[in-house]
Amino acid sequence: MEPELGPEAAARCLHWLALLLLGLSALSCSLSSPASPPPSLVPRVRTSYHLGRTFLGLDKCNACIGTSICKKFFKEEIRFDNSLASHLELPSDYLPSCPANYSDDSKTWRPVEILRLISRYQNDVSDRRICASVSAPKTCSIERVLRKTERFQKWLQAKRLTPDLVQGLSSPLLRCPSQRLLDRVVRRYAEVADAGSIFMDHFTDRDKLRLLYTLAVNTHPILLQIFPGAEGWPLPKYLGSCGRLLVSTSTRPLQEFYGAPPDRAADLAYQLLGVLESLRSNDLNYFFYFTHVDAGMFGIFNNGHLFIRDASALGVIDKQEGSQITTRTRENQDIFSCLVSGCQAQPPSCDTIPEKHTLVLVCQQLLPQLLQGRFPSPVQEEIDSAVAHCGESSRPDPEVFQAASQLKDILRPLRTCNPTFAYRYPDCKYNDRY
């Protein structure tokens, strides 16, 4: 199914799309409706708009994340509902994401999500801080200012991404990075040619600036690249980015399934617990944790498979190599430390994060919304008890894990085996594992 937008939602999506696709002094973009038949046979409603010097610098697309997806906007290989063409009277509120359709060949289309890496408020604050850091007037060249920073000058001289180069950045991913993790970031960074080396010799100056800016603002697209779903990680496919926009495989947020039928609720809760297990224990010996959780961070594909929809709050601790703990003291803070968060914020040490951390948060905040009142007695009482126990932060780690294991045992037989759960059907007819 192709996603559709109402007029108001479409207008909001067009507004932030227009604001974020900057990088040219005059930008022309044509948006047209998704099509099932060949696009050439479908009448198009086309609207073109031009953007000049309207948004704190002309080089934002260069200073932000990569540009591999930008040409697909210009070539109309990413399409929106044609109600976008109706008017440009834009409301004051904005959408964090927007459904669209994506094509590699202009013939076969699939639904995708276009997400903003930061909110409009964070976007405005970030740019004002960049300009203010050099006592610039209201507008300035974002790229020129960032290029002159001491941190970026160190990046220009660096052959390898090392922990000292990301010291003081606010992302949970970089709270205590190991060299093994940073090498993985460079080796799998998809926005450069000839990816695969742990050294940055093949990075241009602009490539380095894009990577640094993304690490400072939102590491969600980086996590999608270094831990891809194709290798079994619970993350959607990274398709590309342009400016402060990210394009990835479409999912429906978990909160849309609150009130789902019992078999669907049991299946999603079972999958969610399985995802948390993989974050805690995996072959690469990384421990992943969320600094906070909400239902919008998890999404479901059309085949019923649950994935992490928003990894921006996901931290990584290297249990194999050990991690270098970074601090955000005044000595290592700069404009990159404060682009989307307060410069005074001091996150807790990685040494203080227990392995039960994310599981407790999910049992406290998500599973009750998904499972309460969905099942007959006495099964419901057993579920409620297990959820309550795994949500008690005062319990030792083994007791929390045991409660989660008991909950999975309760939920497993409550899941049904039918085409609704295409991600495990028909395998579930022949193997109890599914």
Could you read off the pLDDT of 263-300 as tens digits, one per residue?
Answer: 999 999 999 999 999 999 999 999 999 999 999 999 99
Single out the residue of 353, 365, 415 nearest to residue 390, CA to CA: 365
Give, to the nearest 10 degrees, the angle between helix 357-365 and helix 262-280. Answer: 160
Give dist(CA 19, CA 25) in Å, integer.
13
DSSP 8-class letter at 168:
T
pLDDT tens per residue across span 154-180: 999 999 999 999 999 989 999 989 999
Instruction: Tell me how far CA of residue 361 lies from CA of 38, 259, 279, 400, in angstroms.
Output: 47, 20, 14, 11
Pairing of β 306-308 and β 78-79? unpaired
Helix (H) or strand (E) holding 404: helix 397-411
Residue type, 212: L
117, 38 in Cβ contact below 8 A?
no
Output phi, psi for 276, to 5 deg.
-65, -35
**CA triplet 64, 101, 85: central angle to 5 degrees?**
85
Quote the pTM value.
0.82
Give dist(CA 90, CA 334) in Å, integer.
35
Average pLDDT, the chain: 79
Place of tokens 């609150």: 258
**pLDDT at residue number 63:** 45
DSSP 8-class letter at 347:
P
Instruction: Tell me how far CA of residue 5 lies from CA of 2, 13, 79, in angstroms.
Output: 10, 9, 12
129, 46 in Cβ contact below 8 A?
no
**pLDDT at residue number 73:** 64
**pLDDT at residue number 61:** 46
Supply the DSSP string of 201-230, one letter for each residue.
Answer: TT--HHHHHHHHHHHHH--HHHHHHHS-GG
**pLDDT at residue number 97:** 75
Give dist(CA 337, CA 325) in Å, integer.
16
Show the tokens assigned to 320: 């194999």
Give 149's Cβ-side CA count (13 Å radius): 22
pLDDT tens per residue across span 33-66: 333 333 333 333 333 333 223 322 234 444 444 5
Give dist(CA 112, CA 233) in Å, integer.
19
**pLDDT at residue number 30:** 28
Q: Which residues of the chain have pLDDT under 50?
A: 1-5, 14, 16-65, 82, 84-93, 328
Show the DSSP H helices in 281-396 as ranges: 357-365, 367-371, 379-390
**Dihedral (Cα; 83, 88, 90, 94), 10-degree rounding:** 60
Burial class from Cβ neighbours inside 10 Å (0-12, 13-18, 19+) for residue 91 reads: exposed
Phi-psi domain of 314 (left: phi exceeds 0; alpha: psi -120 through 50; beta: other): beta
352, 325 in Cβ contact below 8 A?
no
- Across-strand partners of 348? none
Give dist(CA 222, CA 182) in Å, integer.
11
